[in-house]
Structure 1
Amino acid sequence: MAEPPSKRRRLSDTDQDPTVKIPGELPTSLSHPISPPPPRKTVARERKLISSPVRLTTIRDLPEESNVGAVSLHDLLGDPLISECWEFNYLHDVDFLMNHFDEDTRALVKVHIVHGFWKKDDNNRLSLERQSAQYNNVTLHAAYMPEMFGTHHSKMLVLFRHDDTAQVIIHTANMISNDWTNLTNGVWQTPRLPLLTGSQDPSGLNMKIGSGPRFKNDLLNYLRAYNSRRQICKSMVEQLEKYDFSAVRGALIASVPGRHDLYDDDPNKTYWGWAGVKRTLRSVPVHSGESDIVVQVSSIATISSVDGWLRKTLFDSLSPPTKTKTPRPTFKVIFPTPDEIRRSLDGYASGGSIHMKIQSALQAKQLQYMKPLLYHWANDCQKGKREEGELQDGGRNRAAPHIKTYIRYNEKKSIDWALLTSANVSTQAWGVDTNGIGTIRIASWEIGVLMWPQLFDDKATMVSTFMKDMPTDEGQGGDGPLVGLRVPYSLPLQKYDDSELPWVATATYARPDIKGRTWG
């Protein structure tokens, strides 16, 4: 209960009511000396921090602090609301996949597995068929493979949920236990995508590269490519068309096997392979100073014309000319040595999916060309010179790399763009120009997503994060939003010593690994 107002004190004969104005007297406000008001305390505006759009997969045998922000397969598939799952990959273990759905609903999820084993007597195909026969809710789809040496190498999940949302997940891990246990892999996810509303006019959509509608356009074009011979993805494309992608930030970079026209004026056409990444990067702003493009992969194929293709096709596509005549970036390639594989969590067994050959005369020549470009995966090796700079531990030195990243670092130590993809360094993945006649020939299915800071805000800066997904403002210039990018390797990089060679899975290694085993 409120207190009653205090009574006004009765004035004595000597008291004067201050509310009564005396004739000719100046207002009291004018009789006080004039001084400026005290300065207001300035409150520092908090800088907006944006978590990394790329997450690493959990590593079983690393401590908890190394798995902060990391994601497991159960995190991706364990939601009991999942009604349908499309799983695209190179290697598949159906039992392993099914065990990661919610225990109570896994028998109810419609599971579609898209693979590339087109030969009916292929052991991988026969194994898939035997495993999937145990599940009434699993359907297999063999992708059309027009090129003899191509593979279905894309790694993607498309999920539909009972709450009328959908989600697209692009990652780098095969659907087998080994890849989700002690190997380093990466994951990019869309937000939960709602259904489109009837009021949304498709003619007014922003089709700018990097926007959600453009990502949807390119993704649906990629999925429609599966339908060239058989209607593999027709039903899924029809479903996905109904969803709103406006919250998505990223550009699809994918490869579709076959021959494709390089010159087409259709602004909504999707270009594949090196032509796709080259056209996309023309729209991405970069700093005008010196820069490094770090190519980190798990496989480097034998390339017949290494200088002609690696430098003049792939590297040129990753660094298209800019309006400001920016200097050509320095290219660096991260690939593990035998010592790094030997000391990894699973020892030599970790190297079974990491490929490069150096035995033949052509391969030896390729190694000679690439040797100056090679850097360690783990920068705690006994040999090799480490670049200058503060040590930043990615927390994955002992978890051998199956992830594939292409990142452009500028001289301000921030990131101009980053690509997470299934594509290694090979002509099969990125394609070759067919004798300069205006077509590109691609052998394999690949998929990835390109990100850059301006997708999140015009004034944003993208910076490396280590052992966590969220960036910190400490020591960062500027005041625009700060976007983190979870980097899997440690910085600064450590260059190969002259005596060092890359890991070769087909070679023999007599020195025992961390498990006491030899290789070959």
Structure 2
Amino acid sequence: MLKITTPRIFFFDCIRRTEYLYACKSRFSNMAEPPSKRRRLSDTDEDHTVKKSGELPTSLSHPISPPPPRKTVARERKLISSPIRLTTIRDLPEESNIDAVSLHDLLGDPLISECWEFNYLHDVDFLMNHFDEDTRTLVKVHIVHGFWKKDDNNRLSLERQSAQHNNVTLHTAYMPEIFGTHHSKMLVLFRHDDTAQVIIHTANMISKDWTNLTNGVWQTPQLPLLTKSQNSSEPDLKIGSGSRFKNDLLNYLRAYNSKRNICRSMVEELKKYDFSAVRGTLIASIPGRHDLYDDDPSTTFWGWAGIKHALRSVPVHTGESDIVVQISSIATLAPTDKWLQRTLFDSLSPPTKPKAPRPTFKVIFPTPDEIRRSLDGYASGGSIHTKIQSATQTKQLHYMKPLLHHWANDCEKGEREEGESRDGGRNRAAPHIKTYIRYNDNKSIDWALLTSANVSHQAWGAATDGTATIRIASWEIGVLMWPELFDANATMVGTFMKDMPTDEGLDSDGPLVGLRVPYSLPLQKYDDSELPWVATATYTQPDSKGCVWG
């Protein structure tokens, strides 16, 4: 029969149990060690820790009151890591490689099932060695190159190497312009877990570029498959949206199929994935002639027309600003600066508000002294190009010279600008990276572009006289990003030696987006006596390896 215990009996039963446990604890405590000194609670001799007979425990008789209200804690600023990452540098110390990424980091996932690799230079064995060692023979690898001449040594080398790997397929991109190159640098990965990823970077697929040269990487998150509801909804084609990025990327990839079926299967597969998490706008070039005007919202504009079209939607500060163009090659442009100023620079600074001041343009390109002192010495300069031999090139140097700034701001010659010293950690790692960054007078960044495109007609295109078309010679690809893509109230600031921003010295209190800057600030201008590095010139002063050049 169930025994019913009244609340009152239960209550005093609990008290008795408590007293019994208390007594046991005291007995064993006295056996183990001397009694502890009791805390004096008042100026009297009465000890309130000794309970009188029949008295309830203090914990049961003490009145209960609500806890005091919590103090208001200052809301911490949201910090967002840089969307651009630098590649690791083999011969720099560990502290210089914080947050840097290696090729194995990008390709070493054993879940990768298929890889499309787009580039200018390729080393097949080098590429294959960076896949997971247990699965590299199972990954379907597609290499897209631009060596259309059958007797091209680069093509012959590719064919010899790929023949040693049963899972490698070569694809030759259509090259309608004789002076163009397949210069895009991109990886498209598919995984066994039904995710895909797009990686846009600046390094050739050769050991040299991934060892001691500075390069940059931008990558999407791992993209899931679209749901049924997403498949049936209309995509948002606003500049900066993930759907717009997907639209432009698929248009870029479809261009490879204009003469032969190269990327059709990959395009059909990539269409199945959800790009909504992507934060960036594709800025690319495809060779050929293209219209400058089109009302179709799904149209992708290429070259300088593409960056101009995108930047019209990017908010910028109205005060003074600098656009820093940091590249690894300056092509022969023209004897006057018309194309540079009125085509390229105007495209990088479309007016967003009436009477807004035009930004000041600065170009970062290394000198022979910087190449000589680099980790690989003069050998680094084999990937960095400009010429000053011909009459046109000499005139070009005349108008380029006032724009030129050092890659490393620790050179013996040249005046340094005012400002806080910020070390990018790559002074001795020669630049193969290409960045275009707009800095404003609020100590923040309006936008940034990581791209394969250097300063050249071939990469950005030239308007065709008398027609509303643009003519482009090369394949290029890059990503434009700005703070509002990450949060409506965000501010973007440069980060140095790490990817995460530091909440210092800014008036705004919104989210903070970092942008990994590869060079050091403040910039240092060329001295009047200095010239840019020229790979075809001769240099007799020994470099960091004790070698000469030319």
- TM-score scaled by structure 2? 0.88
Q: Does 1:355 align with 2:382?
A: no
CA RMSD of aligned residues (A): 1.9
Aligned-pair CA distance for 1:359: 1.0
1:174 paired residue number: 204
**Which residue in 1 is equivalent to 2:486?**
456
What is the deviation of 1:409? Answer: 0.1
**Are the equivalent residues in 1 in contact too, given 2:335–2:392 (CA < 8 A)?**
no
Distance 1:203 1:441 in 2: 35
Give the alignment partner of residue 437 of structure 1, picking from 467, 483, 505.
467
What SS class does the counterpart of residue 254 from structure 2 fall into? helix
| Offset at residue 4 of structure 1 (A) | 5.9
Partner Cα distance (1:507, 1:158) in 2: 38
Q: Find the counterpart in structure 2 of residue 219 from structure 1.
A: 249
Is 1:380 matched with 2:420?
no
Decide whether the 8 Å contact of 1:509 with 1:518 is kept in 2.
yes
**1:203 deviation in Å?**
3.8
Q: 1:202 to 1:408 in 2, by over 3 A?
A: farther
Q: Distance in 1 between matches of 2:89 and 2:53?
A: 82
SS for the counterpart of 1:469 is coil
Do structure 1's residue 195 and structure 2's residue 207 form an aligned pair?
no
Distance 1:105 1:507 in 2: 45
Partner SS for 2:230: coil
Give, in angstroms, the shift of residue 201 of structure 1: 4.4
- Secondary structure, counterpart of 1:332 in structure 2: strand
Question: Partners of 1:383 and 1:413 in 2: how far apart?
Answer: 26
Take 1:494 and 1:3, find their aligned partners in 2: how far apart are those partners? 84
2:443 maps to amino acid: K
Residue 185, structure 1, aligned to residue 215, structure 2: yes
Instruction: Give unmatched runs, 5+ long, in structure 1.
Output: 12-36
Q: Distance between the aligned counterparts of 1:288 and 1:135, measured in 2?
A: 55
Is the 2:335–2:395 contact (alpha carbons within 8 Å) kept by the matching residues of 1?
no
What SS does structure 2 have at the residue aligned with 1:199? helix
- Percent identity over the alignment? 84
Answer yes or no: is 1:474 the counterpart of 2:504. Answer: yes
Report matched runs for 1:51-70 at 5 Å: 51-70=81-100
Match of 1:344 among 354, 359, 374: 374
Residue 367 (structure 1) aligned with residue 397 (structure 2): yes
Tell me which of 499, 506, 511 is aligned to 2:536: 506
Counterpart mapping for 1:6-25 below 5 A: none
CA distance in 1, matches of 2:11, 2:126: 69
Query: What residue in structure 2 maps to residue 279 of structure 1?
Result: 309
Correspondence for 2:71 among 37, 41, 47: 41
Counterpart pick for 1:127 among 154, 157, 161: 157
TM-score scaled to structure 1, two decimals? 0.93
| Partner of residue 330 from structure 1, selected from 360, 369, 378 | 360
Contact 2:332–2:456 (8 Å) recurs in 1: yes
Pair 1:420-2:411 in alignment? no
Are residue 144 (structure 1) and residue 174 (structure 2) matched?
yes
Query: Residue by residue, what CA displacement relative to the aligned partner does 1:462-507 show, whole Å, maximum 9, x if unpaired?
Result: 0000000000112222111000000000000000001000000000
Structure 2: segments with no counterpart, 5+ residues: 1-9, 17-51, 55-66
> What residue identity is the alignment partner of 1:121?
D
Name the CA distance, whole Å, in 2 between partners of 1:363 and 1:294: 22
Larger Rg: 2
1:85 aligns with 2:98: no
1: CA distance, partners of 2:373 / 2:313 = 42
| Pairing 1:112–2:142 present | yes
Residue number in structure 1 paired with 2:49? none
In structure 2, what is the Cα distance between the partners aligned to 1:330 and 1:465? Answer: 22
* 2:102 maps to 1:97: no
Could you say which residue in structure 1 is the equivalent of 2:57?
Answer: none
For 1:272 and 1:244, the matched residues in 2 are separated by 24
SS of the residue corresponding to residue 168 of structure 1 reads: strand
Determine helix, strand or coil for the equivalent of 2:439: strand
Question: In structure 2, what residue type is equivalent to 1:262?
Answer: L
Q: Distance in 1 between matches of 2:226 and 2:371?
A: 48
- For 2:75 and 2:233, how far apart are their aligned partners in 1? 39
Return the offset for 1:10: 13
- 1: distance between equivalents of 2:292 and 2:528? 40
State the 1:363 CA deviation: 0.4
Q: For the Cα contact (< 8 Å) 1:288–1:324, is it kept in 2? A: no
Equivalence for 1:233:
263
One-letter amino acid of the counterpart of residue 275, structure 1: A
2:219 is the alignment partner of 1:154: no
TM-superposed CA distance for 1:199, in Å, is 1.8
**Alpha-carbon offset, residue 308 of structure 1:** 1.3
- 1:377-403 CA-to-partner distances (Å, cap 9, x unmatched) read 000000000001111000000000000
Give the CA deviation at 1:322: 1.3
The equivalent residue for 1:32 is none
Q: CA offsets, 1:44-93, max 9 Å, x none?
A: 10100000000000000000000000000000000000000000000000
* Structure 2 contact 365–404 (Cα < 8 Å) conserved: yes
Report the residue type matching 2:446 in the other structure.
D
